[in-house]
Amino acid sequence: MSDALLIAEGLHKAYGETVALDGADLVVHAGEIVSVMGPSGSGKSTLLHCAAGLTRPDGGDVVYDGRVVSALDDGERSALRRREFGFVFQFGQLVPELTALENVALPLRLDGMRRRPAERRATALLERLELAEKARSRPGQLSGGQHQRVAVARALVAGPKVIFADEPTGALDSVAGERVMELLTTAAVEAGAAVVLVTHDARIAAYADRGIVVRDGRCAR
């Protein structure tokens, strides 16, 4: 196994009186797929949000590629997320007014790339995710599985080193969910991206190379 790309160590996070993380750890190596499982309220999504720089932990450190993420200012963290990380969530991540192609190209456009090359790269990813014929469709015209595959394409478009996926199949039936997982993991492996996959579903977690379990804000194993 190569050196760790991302290390989250001893993370603590509380929301008011509720302790979400109580010393949780996560190590991600380049190109590997790691599942994070645990019961509802165990802290697994908070662990993902802290590791990805979306949420500041109250204690502990996140080190990505030698940089201490918690020490970065908001602008630096935002740039890190845009250039190095990709995200897939369960709901509400596509812009409803944009086509699938425009949604996938969006991270590149926000980072200053011109429309033509951004859409060329987005088209290639939509093809990879077997959605070429849906490029001009808007999110409202897509099935749940197609919607998530567009989200996967968008997560991959900027060439991220890590994709953070929080219950990416949580709203899908089992066949559509497994298709999303097959395409997500295959495309991530081909792109050399690691995946941190938060799920409560063991059949989805089984697409990972290894897994951790979070219980009461700590890693059980």
Partner 1 sequence: MTIATAFLALLESRPRHGYDLKHAYDQHFGHDRPLHYGQVYTTLAKLLRTGLVTVDGVEAGGGPERKRYAVTEAGVTDVQRWLDEPESPQQYLQSDLYAKVIGALLTGRSATAVLDAQREEHLAAMRELTRRKRGGDLADRLICDHALFHLDADLRWLEHTATQLDALAAAVRA
Q: Which residues bind partner 1 (CB under 8 A)?
A: 37, 39, 182, 201-203, 205-211, 213, 215, 220-221
Q: How far is the CB of 102 from partner 1 (least distance, A)?
A: 31
What are the beta bridge partners of residue 200?
none
Q: How far is the CB of 170 from partner 1 (least distance, A)?
A: 15
Q: How far is the CB of 68 from partner 1 (least distance, A)?
A: 31
The position carrying tokens 């200053």 is: 112
Q: How far is the CB of 211 from partner 1 (least distance, A)?
A: 5
Closer CB to partner 1, residue 23 or residue 142? 23
CA pair distance 35, 207, nearest whole angstrom: 8
Q: How far is the CB of 158 from partner 1 (least distance, A)?
A: 27
**What is the number of other CB atoms lying within 10 angstroms of the CB of residue 42?**
22
CA pair distance 204, 168, nearest whole angstrom: 9
Buried b (16+ CB within 10 A) or exposed e, 151-189: bbbbbbbbebbbbbbbbbbbebeeebbbbbbebbbebbe
The position carrying tokens 């897939």 is: 88
Closer CB to partner 1, residue 41 or residue 59? 41
Q: Give the strands of the sheet with 218-219, arranged side by side.
A: 85-88, 162-166, 194-198, 33-37, 210-215, 218-219
